[in-house]
Amino acid sequence: MGARVDPVIGGLLRERKIQRFRASRETILKELEGARYDLDKARVSLDQGDYKWSTVQAYYSMFHSARALLYSKGYREKSHSALLEALTSLFVRTGLLERDYVDDLRDAKDMRESADYGMVFSEEGARTLIINADKFLRKAAETLES
């Protein structure tokens, strides 16, 4: 008999919002590498006064950190919102990740969308996202090591 699937994960699978995905360790580490790259570029953009692009890059750093975590559990997202749902179910509800990290990711997603589609962004927002992206990347790497 196989392991019981969390009801939220089962629903996401049925709705095809996530799919089973067997990621190699190399693939997972590549996501973390992408997170580091985007975070570094977000800092450069911030230093250059490009707050919109810094906001977008900081969000994608968090996205890649979250994706590495999801890959480690054998799933791949089909949307950014599905990634948030799956992360909450697989990591927050199981005590592997504090809710604040997912809340920060959700806020970053909203800020990225506002910057991309509404041209609403700020230096303060970009700075906050960079701090949060750095914390999230560190936490993801720590979680994957344990």
CA distance 36 to 64: 9
Q: For the full predicted model, state whether its pTM sits above 0.85.
A: yes
What is the pLDDT, as a whole number, of residue 1?
44
Please enumerate, as own/partner, the contacts of 96-99 that have beta carbons within 8 Å and a separation of 24 or more. Answer: 96/143, 97/69, 97/139, 97/143
The predicted-structure confidence for 36-69, as pLDDT tens digits, reads as follows 999 999 999 999 999 999 999 999 999 999 999 9
Q: 124 with 72: CB under 8 angstroms?
A: no
Q: Spell out the domain ranges in the chain.
A: 7-145
Q: What is the CATH number of domain 7-145?
A: 1.20.120.330
The one-letter amino acid at 28: I
The conformation of residue 92, written as its DSSP 8-state character, comes to I
Query: What is the token pair recorded at 45?
Result: 């953009």
